[in-house]
Amino acid sequence: MRGDGGFPIRRLSDSSVEMNAGKDGQDQAGADGKRKAGDVGGLAPMGAVAALYSEGDVSVSSAILSTLSTEIFEQPVPKPTSRFRAALAGLSYRVLKRTTVREESGGKASGGYRNRLLERSGHPYAQALLASSTPETQSLVEGGDPMNGPYMMIAPEIRANSGLWDNLFFNSVQGKDVQLRFIWETKTTYELAKTRLSAGRPVRLKALAGGTGLSMILAYDRLIHDGEDAGQITCRITDRDTANTAKTSRLLAKLAAVRGWKIGTRDESGILALTEDIFAEAMAGESYDVVTTVGILEYLQGHTCETTERRRGLPEPKEAKTVLHLAEKLSEMTAGDAAVLANSYRPHPSIRILELFGKTYDYRTKENVDAVMATGGFHPVRTVGSSFIYDVLVYGKSPPSGS
């Protein structure tokens, strides 16, 4: 697990974006400088992320969730980036490699990177690439607000307000793949839960190291929208970062007020955000039917096809907790007929761009992930979807041998 144990695609930082950030980091409102309650039409991606998790904007947060839900559940899954554009990622890598300079810094301050083109963009994602808050987090892309930016591009009303740098960052090869991964994860979580509920069975859901939990929130919202009994659904969104949990709780409270949700407790049904280390001791009686680990495995050692360190000839010290420990924890926390969502992470030139800025990854093919999950007693069920970088995969819990 890299750095401080965070999982960068989901990590949130309170200071990573101004609340009204719009096109390419500039202030953005409606055409008349004002935005009506519940209207998302004047929001660009970063402004939408800020509004979603802010203290106010209850109706706007609900409207953002509704437009994302419509696109995810009622529209065809979009296609990945074209192969031509994917091929250009190699050119982008070479340009950035020649124009990026590493800055060293001693003490508790971290060294950063200089790239005039990215600096001039003023975009929060560029800032997250160029700087780290501490030496321990240099291998992570910090700032969950920029990391949630690609999800906002799914909504056409928000995408229409995206600027040049929004599109360069969030509709890149990796940005589009992140959107696809998010859609596949959300729809599959919903479908697995719906199957159990339709059979008259309660369902317990968990987003492991889920950051701000937007995928799980959307799946839960669609189940309630369908008329499912909230008393039959236990939904937990966990993360070790208290800032993430606070933002998730804030969003859940806002949505419960306008959508009639049930906010749960540790011992009751409903949806709840909890601060939790993924390797912490399982709570007594903890047993989940659907667990999503999407976005986690690429930051844990073990059963890899390649790593950043090996490819670049860098030291690769052994870490105390590996992906095999995660598989063991998954086995402990899941019911006998549980389903687990995971993803592969294949090397691609678009990821090498992130490595230029000190980010490190553990790469796995589907076969590597199969091997990891087998150590926890899970077998492959199906591949939900595949893109340039990701496969989103569903695993079932294998019955004990001899049964």
Q: What is the per-residue pLDDT for 262?
A: 84
- Gap between the Cα atoms of 189 and 205, Å rounded: 8
CATH number of 174-397: 3.40.50.150, 1.10.10.370, 3.40.50.10330, 3.50.50.60?
A: 3.40.50.150
Give, as one character, the DSSP assignment of residue 105.
Answer: -
pTM of the model: 0.86
What's the average model confidence in pLDDT over 297-304? Answer: 95
What are phi and psi for residue 187, nearest 5 degrees? -65, -40
Reference 41, options 26, 16, 60, 18; nearest CA is 60
Q: Is 260 left (phi over 0), alpha (psi -120 to 50) or beta?
A: left
> Is the per-residue pLDDT at 50 higher than 80?
yes
Q: How many residues does the chain have?
A: 403
Q: Which residues, at least 6 apart from 163, have a Cβ–Cβ distance to it below 8 Å? A: 22, 23, 24, 26, 44
**pLDDT score for 401:** 55
Give the mean model confidence (pLDDT) for residues 37-53.
Answer: 84
Per-residue confidence (pLDDT) for residue 370, from 0 to 100? 98
Q: Quick check: 354 and 129 in contact, CB under 8 A?
A: yes
Residue type, 21: A
Which pLDDT value is given to residue 321? 93
Q: What mean pLDDT do residues 229-256 have?
A: 92
Instruction: Give me the residue label for tokens 């999800």.
Output: 151
d(CA 11, CA 2): 13
- Residue 295's SS3 state is coil
pLDDT band for 28, please (50, 70, 90 cuts): very low
**pLDDT in the model for residue 18:** 34
Q: What is the mean pLDDT of the chain?
A: 84
Largest CA distance in the chain: 70
**Tell me, what amino acid is at 88?**
L
The mean pLDDT of 69-81, rounded to a whole number, is: 94
Give, to the nearest 10 degrees, the angle between helix 173-198 and helix 83-99: 130
Nearest in space to 139 (alpha carbons), one of 349, 343, 300: 300
| pLDDT per residue as tens digits for the range 118-146 | 999 988 888 888 875 444 444 444 445 67
Domain boundaries defined on the chain: 174-397
Here the tokens at position 178 are 């992140």
| DSSP-assigned beta bridge partners for residue 221 | none
Residue range 154-208, pLDDT digits in tens? 999 999 999 999 988 898 888 999 999 999 999 999 999 999 999 999 999 999 9
Instruction: Give the residue, 293 or 32, on which the prediction is more confident.
Output: 293
pLDDT, residue 3, reads 35
